[in-house]
Amino acid sequence: MEQHYWLMKSEPDVFSIDDLVRLNSAPWDGIRNYQVRNLLRDHFQIGDLAFFYHSSCKEPAIVGIMQIITTAYPDSSALDPSSPYFDPKSTSEKLPWLRVDVQLVHKLTRPITLATLRQHSEPLTDLPLLKRGNRLSITPVTPEQWHYILALVES
DNA sequence: GCCAACGTTGGC
DNA sequence: GCCAACGTTGGC
């Protein structure tokens, strides 16, 4: 199968690019939305690349690049009452939630802000992040969009 | 299965 | 803190 590209949101107060720099790799857990769960289950492959995006913060931006290093596996944080991602409806027999592990490729020297991305709304028209009402924490990025955005990093 | 009420996300 | 846009829940 071919390589996929993704954009994955995280609130920096909860898990930031600097946390990933420190850990190098980490589970991407806490997904509690079925559409996103289905993406993880059906489309994530080892070796896929993803933008790390800081959301719900002062300057929303793409702040790093990471690689997917596992396929989807059960997100046991849903079973842990002390976890902020605890899901009282989940049981070990019925655990619908999945996570993948990610590894840092690199932190961007200069974040690509949401404002910058909006300035390129013409070539990036179909980027889910720029669409109204977009709330999914993981969205696909086409190869064209991926390479266009990467070129912004270098400009 | 419909749909109103409620909850969540996330930019501003 | 506001609000738009969804997603989820639960009564019927």
Asked if residue A60 keeps its beta carbon closer than 7 A to nucleic acid strand B, the reply is yes
DSSP string, A44-68: --TT-EEEEEE-SSSS-EEEEEEEE
- Say what the pLDDT of residue A68 is: 97
Separation between the CA of A134 and the C1’ of C7 (whole angstroms)? 12
Asked if residue A135 keeps its beta carbon closer than 7 A to nucleic acid strand B, the reply is yes
- Say what the pLDDT of residue A1 is: 66
Asked if residue A55 keeps its beta carbon closer than 7 A to nucleic acid strand B, the reply is yes
Closest nucleotide to the alpha carbon of A135, via C1':
B9
Protein residue minimizing CA–C1' distance to C6:
A133
pLDDT digit string (tens) for chain A, length 155 residues: 678 999 999 999 999 999 999 999 999 999 999 999 999 999 999 999 999 999 999 999 999 999 999 999 999 999 888 888 888 888 888 889 999 999 999 999 999 999 999 999 889 999 999 998 888 999 999 999 999 999 998 76
Q: Rounded to whole angstroms, how far apart are CA atoms A102 and A71?
A: 10
Q: Rounded to whole angstroms, how far apart are CA atoms A98 and A31?
A: 7
Q: Give the HSE-up count for residue A33: Cα atoms under 13 Å, Cβ half-sphere.
A: 8
Query: Please, what are the domains in chain A?
Result: 5-154 (3.10.590.10)
Q: Where are the alpha helices (DSSP H) in A46-125?
A: 114-119
- Say what the pLDDT of residue A23 is: 97
Asked if residue A36 keeps its beta carbon closer than 7 A to nucleic acid strand B, the reply is no
Q: Where are the alpha helices (DSSP H) in A33-142?
A: 34-43, 114-119
Per DSSP, the three-state class of A120 is coil
